[in-house]
Structure 1
């Protein structure tokens, strides 16, 4: 029921079928016109040819066709589409279509061309291949040349839309339609002609053009989207159709935009900037509750907002979330005119679908898949606009909505409070009065619904997800739930959150037990001190027997299950794993019961039991995880050693490590790691939890090292890699030591050669080298001067930034100005605007003058930099020559080229930064100019005279 309706499409739905196997069937379907009808039409054609030669000769013939001869063309089509020998009916159909196409191409009388096009339109459904291929040249010619003839244009567009539609309404893939759409799009100027037809106001032309675009998008969506983007103002023309006051065209346009906006972020962005959100909301507010047009509008909005952070931000900034809240309230409770009728009558299916789509849009804004900044901002807006409060009331009161709406509302509330403490507290503090049962909090109501076996699984799963979202990143909420379990909590006959969770854990129903275990596990997740608090919990299962610790109760439930109930065992093992992984006290209490260790070591190698092979492998991995968590938290070395020996004898370290590593390869592990929300489709898919999978990934390597510290297992093969790197580094250290000794010997030899080779020639070369170094120092001084000039330019740029900020403040002050508060508000506003425009013009003149001065300064700096580079190149050449002469004297010649290169690089970087700042200044000036234009338009709207110079 979540799929949007396409019943308004003219073209039929598409079906998936094998093209190669059904080629003959498709070919026969094209030519299913009755034999008698075809024969009568052919006889009339021959009689007309014999009796109207004079009239045909007097008429002006159009240019000859450009396509190949018909028989050869049809043969190629039959071979391409897999048809065998042609039958008589196919030949007659092809000949009939050929005659009509010939009339369209050759007749100059408009009436004859119109009648031929009507004939082609009437048989377009039966002869899709022939009508679509033989007449393509004629259709393109009509679209390009006869744009003023609305009737002809309507016939051509309707014919093209028809041949793209499959015969079977239930089909999902139409291979022939794909081929014909590809042929149309390859024609140069085809999309431009269709958009020109859309721009016409004629009802028939615009409607059929929109239908043709919809069919093209369904067959070749990406290609059509790219073609529309390449057309000037092509997207704006399509958006403008939504404003058409003829509802049929408007509704067709909405369906077309549904397809146009699919999976294309660029088009989605442009549509949002074209203010399409406001247009769609305006349509929704004028339609009745059970209108399918509302569903189409909401589907377009969902396409534009899903996984598009820019559109979500634009949607919030335009304050459209509040409008969504108003629409939601109207859908749920009706308005003043229809409130009584809505409350009395049962909800229609279309109204239910509309509300679900509206809830999905709200959910998209707060989805965890968005970036955290967008999600948090949307959660805040939902609280401020009272939408969250409205949805919580839907959960806790009876409004007559279906369980689908209730389940979707619960999921929206869940993601609206996830990770937001303010919203979580608002949700937890909501209380309803149940009459005799007394007031109950929303958390208790949720848990009661989760534990109710009569509720639908989808609703229970949504409630479970909502409770997990309440616990997410909410340490205070987790502590409050654990407090309801502690002995010092006040006893009460009313159910509490803690008692309901324990009731779920002890349930005989596997799904309910899994829900309870994972819920309690989330209360302990990332909060270690609550693990110790939970050890104080005592429960009384049998009245006559003493109280039992909760940890012992969970262990007994696991042991009593044996090899049965794999879903319940998975929940209990995950709860124990999180409870024991970082709590030594809990480990001591767990290991004190010998039955617990016996169960884990026995069933970790047991191949029998209920459940699939993958589920059994996952359970063995969970047992290995619990066993290794206990081993990690044992403080006493003797006890630890004895348990390791016990594991080696009973199970074997390799078996435990294999079970631990095998958990990650199960389908349950992969499914749980994909999404945070549990599966709503099948309750058998509930096995592992998303957060537990994250915890397991982080601890797997650490736990495995306890049994194989030398890295002989697959899970920690990185240790062997590290060991090989250590050996490699050790060998390299020996090589480096040997090279150092050789280098020391070579240095002594070089010193001896240097002492012997000192003479007057060497002194002269050294003197030249000093001169080069002095020149480099001078170059450094010039670079410092250039740096100071660059700093001055940066200071000027900062001043312009300040000016631009001041202009922004002026604009904000004018927006906040209340004209209605003054008796002569218009005159005062006009005077203020004129003053601001004068000041802005003066500042703009200063800006242009400063820009010219800065441009000249940059040109001067560029020329000076070029000269410095030339001098630097000469200095480099001289230094290279001096270095070559000193090669025999000193093996490490002195060179300052690196310093010069660094100075040059610094100068280049600062020049690039100056150019960037100049570009930013240009952008500010352009923004200032735009604001002046806005003020001029306001003056004109207020009736003030504006000169020609101001219009520029």
Structure 2
């Protein structure tokens, strides 16, 4: 400290004890010295002192000397000592956190001290050249220059991220200099450079693309390998955060990662030692974080919520992960004892993403065996965990998700699950099956979440599976040893009646809705239950005020609506009209329709519809399932239209449309007949006129005296008659085109009105009607196109006809005959025909 004071006195001169200079005065003198000194040593000493004072008098150094310090970066570029001092001073001035020295003398709250860094950063970034200077300095290899330059850029990005990102985009070569930091042999610079890139790539897709194409993935994998993969420290974590920044919501980088064979380079990361016997594997906290982050990297490539790229890109990544052994490594870890619960949860989620809609991976997962005695299928062990309320909540959610992913677009998998429930199969089973576990979860009386999970899992065996819906009607449950087996449908409804919590009620209602949708036999069986309809009516009509009971009422109303639209109408007491009359009498149509739409207006519904992933924070949170939300979205309009009577209006409109189309077809037929007649007449006229025009009248040169005036007069009369006939037929075509156009316009107006009336109520029925009408209109349009082609052929013939007439007129003139060219010119007729064609039916 005494050495520093003596050095400061040598720079400033020794002040009198009676009147010591203030901090602001000292900073001012140093700033003037740094600005005006001609000797390099004097400027160096001034910068050294400013660096020291900037920790205590940050406000004064920043306010008075920011421009001077930036100027020194340009003027004294060759002196590494001055560069280091100036960069350190700028780092202190722009620090995001308050400094210890300034807190000791501060008379303002710490929050205001922390705002200083952002204010000075804003001033610094107003001039983009200030950033360019720092980027140029990054080329310096001197540790005392390069490291503070990295720290200064880190301060700038922390304080004003968007401003610095814009400056970097103006200087794109700066990204290359950032990437060079990852190759620096000095770990402190490499690690700080990694943090800088992590901040720089947040929320900016353009910078993310530049960084990726600067070979970032390769360099990051090298760092991860050097640090020991999952066993590495905080540096590996920083690398993985940067991976996520580059890949999430960036389709370009995701494609580049896939095509660059980087997925295969992830495999060594999961070469995790497996202990012998039952000895638990101890996982340090850093390893847990590293593995979880790498799992998120995989999920960013194959998650169903991936923003773009389509299912084809996801499927390609899934296939790569299976072929390179990543899926096998994940499944191996899944069955390894000692894996922390939170890591295991993420592994299960990742396996779900890996197999979703990927047939080969789903088959692999179905045959996966747990190394137990005797060996059991991994799917069975996982389902045991799902219906066991002693397992961690997050783990149970993850198991439900992987089960859904296994069944997604997997008809054989759904059939195998349902098959284990059928009477012919249950007697032959020697061990517990997935179907039995689901039924046991459904019958749970102490855990509502088990009921919800089992009901949702069963519902996924029925999605787009008409055959499995029929098969499930045959399933019986042995509720007790003395009682007779009960149908699964009957028992499910009994569970619904006895449930007291909204969660279990919604689970059963979603299961029943998925079962009854598009399955009239299931609807008939459900309506055959003695108290099914009265129970639903009472639920929809009640005035419950408990939390989430509105969702239960809405789900009941939706289930009742499915019973109407998929009703076979075989039983007069429970056909469509009877149910609608009952709704109108007991509930009220308006109230019922409003209740059906309650779910669709709920925040929980929007969240469930957005993503199929099952992630919740607490056990009471799961209420709605993704596939149920999709089902509700598909059939809500049909329910509303059927109950409100709009379906009758649509049927009447469809009949009106059919009548209009029939009239149109009749007009088209008449028009076609007329066109055929016109073509015959025109062909006959061509045969009569063209031989004369082609030279048959004058096979050899003759004198003018050979031509008699009567012959030319007859020819002109014949031409006049032909012109009149062509004009009449052109007018007839025009009239028919106009009639056809008016009728088509009428159909378009009717379609627009119908679409507007039914767009919000019944898009499904409207689409069916419009599809049918579109087919009819396409056929009519093709017929009209053929007619227009015939008309164009006639126009070509008239053009040829005009050429011949003109040639004949010139021949007559050459032979001395008097010819009225206006009488022989058919240009006007042709032009009229063209205008009529353009203004007619299109």
The alignment's TM-score, normalised by the length of structure 1, stands at: 0.64
Kindly indicate whether residue 539 of structure 2 is the aligned counterpart of residue 603 of structure 1.
yes
* Farther off after superposition, 97-106 or 691-700: 97-106
Corresponding position of 2:618: 682
Corresponding position of 2:554: 621
2: CA distance, partners of 1:711 / 1:106: 89
Aligned with 1:453 (options 385, 389, 397): 389
Kindly indicate whether residue 58 of structure 2 is the aligned counterpart of residue 140 of structure 1.
no
CA deviation map 1:616-657 (0-9, x unaligned): 221111011110111222222733233322222221222211
Aligned with 2:356 (options 404, 408, 418): 418
Corresponding position of 1:323: 265
Aligned with 1:374 (options 309, 313, 323): 313
Corresponding position of 1:305: 247
Residue 493 of structure 1 and its aligned partner are, at CA, apart by 4.6
Residue 173 of structure 1 and its aligned partner are, at CA, apart by 12
1: CA distance, partners of 2:111 / 2:267: 38
2: CA distance, partners of 1:116 / 1:898: 90
2: CA distance, partners of 1:316 / 1:178: 39
CA deviation map 1:414-447 (0-9, x unaligned): 0000000100010110112322xx2211110110
Q: Kindly tell me: are residues 647 and 172 of structure 1, through their superposed partners in 2, closer, same or farther at Cα, counting changes over 3 Å?
A: farther
CA deviation map 1:871-925 (0-9, x unaligned): xxxxxxxxxxxxxxx9xx99987449989xx9xxxxxxxxxxxxxxxxxxxxxxx
Residue 41 of structure 1 and its aligned partner are, at CA, apart by 12
Q: Kindly tell me: are residues 528 and 711 of structure 1, through their superposed partners in 2, closer, same or farther at Cα, counting changes over 3 Å?
A: closer
1: CA distance, partners of 2:832 / 2:41: 90
Corresponding position of 2:86: 156
Corresponding position of 1:535: 473
Q: Kindly tell me: are residues 898 and 41 of structure 1, through their superposed partners in 2, closer, same or farther at Cα, counting changes over 3 Å?
A: farther
Q: List aligned pairs for 1:627-706, cutoff 5 A.
A: 627-636=560-569, 638-639=572-573, 640=575, 641-706=577-642
Aligned with 1:404 (options 342, 349, 364): 342
Kindly indicate whether residue 458 of structure 2 is the aligned counterpart of residue 520 of structure 1.
yes
Kindly indicate whether residue 283 of structure 2 is the aligned counterpart of residue 350 of structure 1.
no
Kindly indicate whether residue 244 of structure 2 is the aligned counterpart of residue 314 of structure 1.
no
Aligned with 1:464 (options 388, 400, 418): 400
Corresponding position of 1:492: 429
1: CA distance, partners of 2:5 / 2:24: 13
SS in 2 for 1:524: coil
Corresponding position of 1:905: none
2: CA distance, partners of 1:891 / 1:367: 68
Residues 583 and 589 in structure 2, CA contact (< 8 A), matched pair in contact too? yes
Kindly indicate whether residue 212 of structure 2 is the aligned counterpart of residue 279 of structure 1.
no
Residues 473 and 487 in structure 2, CA contact (< 8 A), matched pair in contact too? yes
* Farther off after superposition, 525-534 or 503-512: 503-512
Corresponding position of 2:756: none
Q: Kindly tell me: are residues 43 and 282 of structure 1, through their superposed partners in 2, closer, same or farther at Cα, counting changes over 3 Å?
A: closer
Residues 8 and 49 in structure 2, CA contact (< 8 A), matched pair in contact too? no
2: CA distance, partners of 1:596 / 1:406: 42
Residue 547 of structure 1 and its aligned partner are, at CA, apart by 0.6
Residues 458 and 680 in structure 1, CA contact (< 8 A), matched pair in contact too? yes
Corresponding position of 1:237: 177
Corresponding position of 1:56: none
Residue 223 of structure 1 and its aligned partner are, at CA, apart by 2.4
Residues 12 and 29 in structure 2, CA contact (< 8 A), matched pair in contact too? no
Residues 469 and 519 in structure 2, CA contact (< 8 A), matched pair in contact too? yes
Q: List aligned pairs for 1:91-102, cutoff 5 A.
A: 92-102=22-32
SS in 2 for 1:706: helix
Q: List aligned pairs for 1:791-806, cutoff 5 A.
A: none
Q: Kindly tell me: are residues 387 and 480 of structure 1, through their superposed partners in 2, closer, same or farther at Cα, counting changes over 3 Å?
A: same
Residue 602 of structure 1 and its aligned partner are, at CA, apart by 0.6
SS in 2 for 1:683: coil
Residues 153 and 205 in structure 1, CA contact (< 8 A), matched pair in contact too? yes
Q: Kindly tell me: are residues 156 and 415 of structure 1, through their superposed partners in 2, closer, same or farther at Cα, counting changes over 3 Å?
A: same
CA deviation map 1:30-49 (0-9, x unaligned): xxxxxxxx999999998647
Corresponding position of 1:129: 59
2: CA distance, partners of 1:274 / 1:621: 54
Q: Kindly tell me: are residues 232 and 540 of structure 1, through their superposed partners in 2, closer, same or farther at Cα, counting changes over 3 Å?
A: closer
2: CA distance, partners of 1:566 / 1:380: 40
2: CA distance, partners of 1:892 / 1:95: 98
The alignment's TM-score, normalised by the length of structure 2, stands at: 0.72
2: CA distance, partners of 1:669 / 1:464: 18
Q: Kindly tell me: are residues 521 and 345 of structure 1, through their superposed partners in 2, closer, same or farther at Cα, counting changes over 3 Å?
A: closer
Residues 607 and 616 in structure 1, CA contact (< 8 A), matched pair in contact too? no
Residue 267 of structure 1 and its aligned partner are, at CA, apart by 2.0
Q: List aligned pairs for 1:712-731, cutoff 5 A.
A: none
Residue 208 of structure 1 and its aligned partner are, at CA, apart by 0.8
Q: Kindly tell me: are residues 531 and 219 of structure 1, through their superposed partners in 2, closer, same or farther at Cα, counting changes over 3 Å?
A: same
1: CA distance, partners of 2:13 / 2:117: 36
Q: Kindly tell me: are residues 350 and 150 of structure 1, through their superposed partners in 2, closer, same or farther at Cα, counting changes over 3 Å?
A: same
Kindly indicate whether residue 502 of structure 2 is the aligned counterpart of residue 566 of structure 1.
yes
Kindly indicate whether residue 129 of structure 2 is the aligned counterpart of residue 189 of structure 1.
yes
Residue 127 of structure 1 and its aligned partner are, at CA, apart by 3.3
RMSD of equivalent CA atoms: 3.7
Aligned with 1:389 (options 300, 318, 328): 328
Residue 491 of structure 1 and its aligned partner are, at CA, apart by 3.3
Q: List aligned pairs for 1:26-65, cutoff 5 A.
A: 48=14
1: CA distance, partners of 2:246 / 2:128: 30
2: CA distance, partners of 1:701 / 1:226: 48
2: CA distance, partners of 1:42 / 1:303: 47
Q: Kindly tell me: are residues 173 and 557 of structure 1, through their superposed partners in 2, closer, same or farther at Cα, counting changes over 3 Å?
A: farther
Q: List aligned pairs for 1:283-294, cutoff 5 A.
A: 283-288=223-228, 289-294=231-236
Corresponding position of 2:691: none
2: CA distance, partners of 1:595 / 1:890: 84
Q: Kindly tell me: are residues 616 and 40 of structure 1, through their superposed partners in 2, closer, same or farther at Cα, counting changes over 3 Å?
A: farther
Residue 297 of structure 1 and its aligned partner are, at CA, apart by 1.1
Structure 2 segments unaligned to the other structure (5+ residues): 100-109, 665-715, 724-821
SS in 2 for 1:707: helix
Q: Kindly tell me: are residues 244 and 684 of structure 1, through their superposed partners in 2, closer, same or farther at Cα, counting changes over 3 Å?
A: same
SS in 1 for 2:610: coil
Corresponding position of 2:208: 268
2: CA distance, partners of 1:219 / 1:45: 33
Residue 176 of structure 1 and its aligned partner are, at CA, apart by 3.2
Kindly indicate whether residue 156 of structure 2 is the aligned counterpart of residue 216 of structure 1.
yes
Residue 485 of structure 1 and its aligned partner are, at CA, apart by 0.2
Q: Kindly tell me: are residues 128 and 316 of structure 1, through their superposed partners in 2, closer, same or farther at Cα, counting changes over 3 Å?
A: same
1: CA distance, partners of 2:359 / 2:37: 76
Structure 1 segments unaligned to the other structure (5+ residues): 1-37, 52-87, 734-762, 771-885, 903-952
Residues 450 and 461 in structure 1, CA contact (< 8 A), matched pair in contact too? yes
Corresponding position of 1:915: none
Residue 93 of structure 1 and its aligned partner are, at CA, apart by 4.0
CA deviation map 1:191-235 (0-9, x unaligned): 111011111010011111111111211222222223223226222
1: CA distance, partners of 2:834 / 2:206: 47
Residues 618 and 668 in structure 1, CA contact (< 8 A), matched pair in contact too? no
2: CA distance, partners of 1:556 / 1:168: 65
2: CA distance, partners of 1:112 / 1:47: 13
Q: Kindly tell me: are residues 44 and 321 of structure 1, through their superposed partners in 2, closer, same or farther at Cα, counting changes over 3 Å?
A: closer
Residues 290 and 348 in structure 1, CA contact (< 8 A), matched pair in contact too? no
Aligned with 1:111 (options 33, 41, 46): 41
